[in-house]
Chains A and B, each alone.
Chain A
Amino acid sequence: MQATWVFDGRSSTTVSAPGDVLAPSRIDERDSGNGVGQFARNDRPMSILKKVFPKGDTLLVWFCKFLSYLPLLALLGIVGELFFQALPSIKVSGFGFFTTSDWKPGSSYANPISTSGVMHPPGAHFGIVPLIVGTISTSLIAIVIAVPVSIGAAIIIVEKLPAKLSGFLGLSLEVLAGVPSVVFGLWGVLVLGPFLSHHITPFISKHAPNVPVLNIFKGPTGAGEGLLTSGLVLSLMIIPIIASTCRELFRQVPVTAREGARALGMTDYEVVRKVDIPWVSSGIIGASVLGLGRALGETMAVAMISGSVTGTFPANIYSTMSTIAATIVSQLDSALTDSTNFFVSSLAEAGLVLLAMSLMANLFARFLVKRVSGTALPVGRGV
């Protein structure tokens, strides 16, 4: 009965008798200023049967439901619109889009011709294979460099550095993540590219062994624009993403597990190899794919550094090339001048392919995470 006084005004006088543990005066003392105390002061507690805003809850629920479906709607809208834009290109190019390597907008001065009911400039032919190769190889270079660097940086920040320095380094990682990609692009074109082509790549090219796989390092080194420079700049762009995620992951490794390894006489390296990394391995894969997604879709920097060469495969790791994203941004302007809209349609199809690639990378990561967490633990679980 004592519990009901708060809600029922009529009984409030009876329960405020001295000695009652829930008497309003006691609560006043404890909670003066907040809601409970005010009930008691006003001496007119609210009834539980009365609804204050009867429609408020329902409205909020529906509004939130709508908001939660918005991302899904946006995704469906983007995919649908992209698909409709790409439809003419799909009709004309067909499967050849994924097997050929020409990237020719055709003649815009001649009269458009019709194939399968779609108007397009004569000589127009689009094959996306070199762009897929460019996209995957730049991202691969970026990932191969960025993942070890990020793991190393994250471990040193979490485990070894004094708090102040690790805080500062963590902050600078976040600042690096905020650098606009066009600034990275400028730096790549003006500083990194020339530096590499003048001082580094000729040396590597000269001394690389002429055996399969490693012979991609041989051959002409170019002027500094191309695959290697793009990959390096991309790796710099994704290091902050992967490293700051890894930093949070390593913070979750329980101290007890780490101490257990040290108490067995393991070296720092063994503690990292045997405990830290396996403990969060699934998270590291997730972080890497987050970085891979950024690398696959990165546009501006690559468009500036890659050399924007479409239609040919890179001959070695220094070759100029282009990626899907970079091609879309650098060619959209001229594509919009195509009166038949076929060029734009082809770019839209390229966009669809890029979307599918990111999606596949994500699915692959989920698969890996599942496999890894079968033997180790998912992040945040355990002792």
Chain B
Amino acid sequence: MTQSLASDITTGPNQGDFDYSQKRIDDASSQLQVPLKTIDLSVGFSHSTILNEISLSFPKGTITALVGPTGCGKSTFLRTLNRMNDHVRGFWHKGSVVLDDVNIYDKSVDPLVLRRNVGMVFQRPNPFPMSIKDNVVSGVKAHKLAKRKDLLAIAESQLKEVGLYDAIADRMDDSPFRLSGGQQQLLCLARALAVGPEVLLLDEPTASLDPVSTSSVESLISALVPKLTIVIVTHNLAQARRIAQHAAFFFNGELVEHGLAAQVLEDPEHETTAQFVTGRMG
């Protein structure tokens, strides 16, 4: 298992509490918790291979940013982490994705329960065609996590958690489609958080938002750690620098480099990563 955490990054003086080096990993593993990791994960559709032997771990209670040029496979990787690709025709995978010591592609794993534990928020806000309140508790209802009479209270507390409640307190029964894009995305975050996931996958959550909404979504994401483990795909390097503790750089389906965000994004080891983070390639 520890092999998956191995990387060729050497220990530097500026590194934080998480250490990627092979030598230190055994000592650190007692304090260090890794709820989610992939081991030699290869993914593809039909005859094509999208991702090639990715081994990556996501330390508990931190934000990991996946960066890389368009088409490098980072979104596919993210969607493999909660089996969203199962619905895509021709999807295949090799290797494993381990959540709390269980391979999520094991036959005994129910993808519906998995997705409760590994939530996801998408690039575009995608509220359901029902009232704002019903949107927030739709997952709670689907998994029968609460009694009917408690639903309103749950919806309110979740909306308060994402900081949306004050703006829409008197519109709980209205359509969510009249909210602004940023508010809709916060609503989708509240909906994903309501089922109590331990890992949250964010697929470019601010790509379709204006700067003000982006900053409110970002500050919410930052506030969610260390309670949650967050994996965020982003095209916005500045955003990755602002919120992520760890970063992984993908290029052409390969994991080129991963480690602390400060290192990968500011002082990368590999030439391709350097080209990307300095803007010479994008």
B128 in contact with A265 (CB, 8 Å): no
B126 in contact with A256 (CB, 8 Å): yes
Query: 0/1 per residue, A108-128, Cβ < 8 Å to B?
Result: 000000000000000000000
Residue A279 lies at the interface, judged by CB distance under 8 Å to chain B: yes
Given A257-B128, A279-B129: A265 and B122 interface contact (C-beta under 8 Å): no
Q: Choose one: B87, B89, B177; the contact of A377 (CB below 8 Å).
A: B177
Residue B69 lies at the interface, judged by CB distance under 8 Å to chain A: no
Query: 0/1 per residue, B107-128, Cβ < 8 Å to A?
Result: 0000111111001101111111
Q: What CA separation (Å) do A329 and B57 show in the bound complex?
A: 76
What A residues does B123 contact at CB under 8 A? 256
B129 in contact with A265 (CB, 8 Å): no
Q: Choose one: B89, B115, B124; the contact of A263 (CB below 8 Å).
A: B115
Nearest B residue to A381, CB-CB: B177
Residue B195 lies at the interface, judged by CB distance under 8 Å to chain A: yes
B126 in contact with A265 (CB, 8 Å): no
Nearest A residue to B125, CB-CB: A383
Residue A174 lies at the interface, judged by CB distance under 8 Å to chain B: no
Task: List which B164-194 residues lie within 8 A (CB) of chain A.
Answer: 175, 177, 184, 188, 191-192
Given A256-B122, A264-B138, A266-B139: A377 and B115 interface contact (C-beta under 8 Å): no
Residue B102 lies at the interface, judged by CB distance under 8 Å to chain A: no
Q: Choose one: A162, A260, A270, A376; the contact of B122 (CB below 8 Å).
A: A260
Q: What CA separation (Å) do A377 and B139 show in the bound complex?
A: 21
A256 in contact with B124 (CB, 8 Å): yes
A278 in contact with B130 (CB, 8 Å): yes
Residue B229 lies at the interface, judged by CB distance under 8 Å to chain A: no
Q: How many residues of B contact A (CB 8 A)?
A: 33
A278 in contact with B129 (CB, 8 Å): yes
Given A256-B124, A274-B138, A383-B124: A264 and B195 interface contact (C-beta under 8 Å): yes
Residue A375 lies at the interface, judged by CB distance under 8 Å to chain B: yes
Residue B82 lies at the interface, judged by CB distance under 8 Å to chain A: yes
Given A162-B89, A266-B139, A270-B142: A261 and B84 interface contact (C-beta under 8 Å): no
Q: What CA separation (Å) do A262 and B139 show in the bound complex?
A: 10
A264 in contact with B139 (CB, 8 Å): yes
Q: What CA separation (Å) do A266 and B84 show in the bound complex?
A: 12
Residue A259 lies at the interface, judged by CB distance under 8 Å to chain B: yes
Residue B94 lies at the interface, judged by CB distance under 8 Å to chain A: no
What A residues does B131 contact at CB under 8 A? 375
What B residues does A178 contact at CB under 8 A? none
Nearest A residue to B124, CB-CB: A256
What A residues does B175 contact at CB under 8 A? 375-377
Q: How many residues of A contact B (CB 8 A)?
A: 25
Query: 0/1 per residue, A369-383, Cβ < 8 Å to B?
Result: 000000111000111
Residue A34 lies at the interface, judged by CB distance under 8 Å to chain B: no
A267 vs chain B, min Cβ distance (A): 6
What A residues does B24 contact at CB under 8 A? none
Q: Choose one: B116, B128, B188; the contact of A275 (CB below 8 Å).
A: B128
Given A162-B89, A278-B130, A375-B175: A264 and B124 interface contact (C-beta under 8 Å): no
What B residues does A375 contact at CB under 8 A? 130-131, 175
B89 in contact with A264 (CB, 8 Å): no
What A residues does B116 contact at CB under 8 A? 264-265
Q: What CA separation (Å) do A382 and B177 show in the bound complex?
A: 7
Nearest A residue to B86, CB-CB: A262
Nearest A residue to B110, CB-CB: A265
Residue A254 lies at the interface, judged by CB distance under 8 Å to chain B: yes
B84 in contact with A264 (CB, 8 Å): no
Task: List which A81-131 residues lie within 8 A (CB) of chain B.
Answer: none
B129 in contact with A376 (CB, 8 Å): yes
Residue B23 lies at the interface, judged by CB distance under 8 Å to chain A: no
Q: Choose one: B89, B124, B195; the contact of A265 (CB below 8 Å).
A: B195
Q: Choose one: A260, A265, A274, A383; the contact of B130 (CB below 8 Å).
A: A274
Residue B160 lies at the interface, judged by CB distance under 8 Å to chain A: no
A192 vs chain B, min Cβ distance (A): 38
Q: What CA separation (Å) do A307 and B212 show in the bound complex?
A: 71
Q: What CA separation (Å) do A355 and B35 show in the bound complex?
A: 67
Residue B227 lies at the interface, judged by CB distance under 8 Å to chain A: no
B115 in contact with A264 (CB, 8 Å): yes
B129 in contact with A264 (CB, 8 Å): no
Task: List which A330-383 residues lie within 8 A (CB) of chain B.
Answer: 375-377, 381-383
Scoring A257, A265, A278 by chain B CB atoms within 10 A of each residue's CB, the highest score goes to A265
Q: What CA separation (Å) do A62 and B175 show in the bound complex?
A: 44
Nearest B residue to A256, CB-CB: B126
What A residues does B177 contact at CB under 8 A? 377, 381-383
A267 in contact with B128 (CB, 8 Å): no
Q: What CA separation (Å) do A254 and B128 show in the bound complex?
A: 10
Residue B270 lies at the interface, judged by CB distance under 8 Å to chain A: no
Nearest B residue to A382, CB-CB: B177
Residue B143 lies at the interface, judged by CB distance under 8 Å to chain A: yes
Q: What CA separation (Å) do A21 and B143 show in the bound complex?
A: 64
19 new A-B contacts, CB < 8 A, other than A256-B124, A265-B143, A274-B130, are A254-B126, A256-B122, A257-B126, A257-B127, A260-B128, A262-B84, A262-B87, A263-B84, A263-B192, A264-B115, A264-B191, A265-B142, A266-B142, A274-B138, A274-B142, A275-B128, A375-B175, A376-B129, A383-B124
Report the 10 A-B pairs with minimum CB-CB distance, sorted nearest first: A265-B115, A263-B120, A264-B139, A260-B126, A278-B129, A256-B126, A376-B129, A265-B112, A265-B116, A266-B142
Query: Can you identify 14 A-B contacts, CB atoms within 8 angstroms?
Result: A254-B126, A261-B128, A262-B84, A263-B115, A264-B191, A264-B192, A266-B112, A275-B128, A278-B128, A278-B130, A375-B130, A377-B175, A383-B125, A383-B126
